[in-house]
Amino acid sequence: MSNSSNWSRRTQAVHAGTRRSQYGEVSEAIFLTQGFVYDTAEDAEQRFIQIEGDEFIYARYGNPTLAMFEDRMAALEGAEAGFACASGMAAVNGALMSLVKAGDHIVSSRALFGSCLYILEDILARFGVEITLVDGRDLDAWKAAIRSDTRMVFLESVSNPVLEVIDLKAVADMAHAVGAMVVVDNVFATPTYSYAIEAGADLVVYSTTKHVDGQGRCLGGIILGKRDIVRGPVEAYLKHTGGAMSPFNAWVMLKSLDTMDLRIDAQCDTAEVLANGLADHPKLNKVVYPGHPSHPQYALAKRQCKRGGTVLAIEVKGGKEEAFKFLNALEIFTISNNFADSKSIVTHPATTTHQRLKPEHRAELGISDGIVRISCGLEDAGDLLADLQSALDTVA
């Protein structure tokens, strides 16, 4: 394994964490193996007493392909360690379940991915963890909710689908003042433009299904942070409860890191072109993009994020009927509930990803029937803008 700590990011993305087998392969090998053999019974006994350095015993605990992926992600994030999980939700579940117990108090932003909200409100609440949900944009609300016995603060740094931005450093400072841990679901900020650890996150969680794979193939997730937390309670919980990523998926993700920053940069460029191109469109009530001056938190976004991200939202005038007309008229964009793919995707959150929310909760989160989420892929930005404009021509 190489010492990558003084390499620049582009070099780390290609080389960090590489483990070569005795064959000296150029491209990282996939170790599609459940178990590992020992030369002697004494070696087996010893490894079960203490796993040293680059040793493995079972793929649910760890695997060389996963270790390469974890070390490369940790290097890119500026984290000490990582644990790769079967999906983004396995990672969120692992981060939350391994670190809290009955009687603990969690403060979380309300604008969360639906499954994250389920873990907090349904699962953790069932085990006697107290949850307080706040409007993540409102620092006074965080201040009022965080108590001397708060154990954890959880938030999505940029929310889905309406791209609200949280002042992470301010919230992390409040949490740390009472000794609470800060866990950040950082998908929308992207791993390329992450500021989470710098701003004070103790753990950063990604659904690597999104920008890391970035090509719509494999599910995955990762928990990144301080070594004593990741290799301590997080790893113990995940290796015993079966949350590990498959070595095949880890290999796909690892190879995808070679190009992740290039892809995300191109997708951010496209998001800017689309946000600028649609900004004053007469068929839209608004365009929401953290990198555009019209975003209500543009100043914060500019200070905190290096770029505005790969996703924007628009509000089509005329509600669901006109939004559906628009979606159905698109030719390059595909209708799907996923995002951060090399193929551009549109989503109508009110009737799909956020359908199960009560109408008043949707309204609270700004998810009207006219909102369409646009995930920018790797196609030509001019073609994509033309596709959106001609589909908007069909709207009344």
Ligand X SMILES: *Cc1c(COP(=O)(O)O)cnc(C)c1O
- Sign of the CA dihedral 131, 133, 136, 140? negative
State yes or no: residue 108 binds ligand X (CB under 6 A). no
State yes or no: residue 113 binds ligand X (CB under 6 A). yes
Residues within window 194-253 making contact with ligand X, judged by CB under 6 A: 207, 209-210, 219, 221
Taking alpha carbons only, the member of 7, 27, 9, 29 closest to residue 250 is 29
Minimum CB–partner distance for residue 252 and ligand X (Å): 13
Minimum CB–partner distance for residue 310 and ligand X (Å): 12
DSSP string, 169-227: HHHHHHHHHTT-EEEEE-TTT-STT--HHHHT-SEEEEETTTTTT-SS----EEEEE-H
Minimum CB–partner distance for residue 377 and ligand X (Å): 16
Minimum CB–partner distance for residue 91 and ligand X (Å): 8
* Peptide bond preceding 293 in cis form (omega within 30 of 0): no
Residues within window 72-101 making contact with ligand X, judged by CB under 6 A: 87-89, 92
Q: Give 111 or 395: the residue with its C-beta nearer to ligand X.
A: 111
Roughly what angle, to the nearest 10 degrees, separates helices 64-77 and 247-278?
A: 30
Q: Give 209 or 344: the residue with its C-beta nearer to ligand X.
A: 209
State yes or no: residue 193 binds ligand X (CB under 6 A). no
Q: Give 286 or 373: the residue with its C-beta nearer to ligand X.
A: 373
| Bridge partners for 106 per DSSP | 131, 152
Minimum CB–partner distance for residue 206 and ligand X (Å): 8
Rounded to whole angstroms, the Cα distance separating 131 from 129 reads 6
Among 70, 104, 156, 235, binds ligand X (CB under 6 A): 156
Radius of gyration of the chain (CA): 22
State yes or no: residue 341 binds ligand X (CB under 6 A). no
Minimum CB–partner distance for residue 205 and ligand X (Å): 8
Rounded to whole angstroms, the Cα distance separating 92 from 100 reads 13
Size of the site for ligand X (CB under 6 A): 15
Minimum CB–partner distance for residue 98 and ligand X (Å): 17
Q: Give 33 or 338: the residue with its C-beta nearer to ligand X.
A: 338
Minimum CB–partner distance for residue 289 and ligand X (Å): 17
Q: Which two tokens stand for residue 90?
A: 């396995």
Residues within window 116-145 making contact with ligand X, judged by CB under 6 A: 116
State yes or no: residue 310 binds ligand X (CB under 6 A). no
Rounded to whole angstroms, the Cα distance separating 199 from 82 reads 18
Residue 26 backbone dihedrals phi, psi, to 5 degrees: -80, -50
Rounded to whole angstroms, the Cα distance separating 148 from 52 reads 39
Asked if residues 184 and 204 have their Cβ atoms less than 8 Å apart, the reply is yes
Among 18, 108, 160, 353, binds ligand X (CB under 6 A): 160
State yes or no: residue 164 binds ligand X (CB under 6 A). no
Q: What residues line the site for ligand X (CB under 6 A)?
A: 87-89, 92, 113, 116, 156, 160, 185, 187, 207, 209-210, 219, 221
